[in-house]
Amino acid sequence: MTFTTREKRIHENHASEYHFISKEEFNKKIDSWEMLEWTVTNSALYWSTNDELEKIISHWLIPVYIIDVKWHNSIREKLWEKFDITSVFILPPSFEILEERLEARWTESDERMLVRLQTAKEELEHIAEYDYFVINNEIEQCAKEIIDILKLK
């Protein structure tokens, strides 16, 4: 489960998509070294904790994380001896469709949209560092492809 300091969207539920907490709580987690990884995206903080990873594994579940590309190699190096890590880079069908999807959310200003699109282009430069990539044409098909990849492991 990923934690975030951003505002909850209307359709989101606490703990089913993200754990929503304050920036003060986030800073406490930084001070106590609880994070597996963290990033600032759109001026909100997102992170995954070491405790959450241990909790998932203790229930014999497969942890799946959506992480910033800058943490990909760091986490892989940190955890590769303990876990069999499979990485999947999820791509939009095109940057035009990505822009349409962002516009349809009505959550981004024009300035933020440009930043998000530029960031996506920069992240694409790291695709060769991943084990697999999946194009997110339709969410159900994308999820099926990721599950099929995990079944190979």
C-alpha 122/C-alpha 142 separation (Å) is 22
C-alpha 146/C-alpha 99 separation (Å) is 23
CA distances from 17 to 12, 91, 117 (A): 7, 20, 23
The answer, yes or no, to whether residue 47 has pLDDT greater than 60, is no
CB atoms within 10 A of CB 121: 11
Pick the more confident residue, 19 or 88: 88
Number of residues assigned to the chain = 153
Pick the more confident residue, 119 or 16: 119
pTM flag (> 0.95): no
Architecture of domain 86-153: 3-Layer(aba) Sandwich (3.40)
The single-letter code of the amino acid at 12 is E
Architecture of domain 1-69: 2-Layer Sandwich (3.30)
pLDDT at 38: 58
Half-sphere exposure in the Cβ direction for 89 (13 Å, CA) = 20
pLDDT at 112: 81
pLDDT in tens, 71-129: 787 778 777 777 788 899 999 999 899 888 888 877 777 888 888 889 889 999 999 99
Of 1-15, 31-45, 106-120, give the range with the top mean pLDDT. Answer: 106-120
Could you tell me if residue 43 is left (phi over 0), alpha (psi between -120 and 50 degrees) or otherwise beta?
A: left
| Domain regions of the chain by residue span | 1-69, 86-153
Strands 3-4 and 44-49 come out as antiparallel
Rounded to whole angstroms, the maximal C-alpha distance in the chain is 43
The answer, yes or no, to whether residue 41 has pLDDT greater than 90, is no
The answer, yes or no, to whether residue 21 has pLDDT greater than 60, is yes
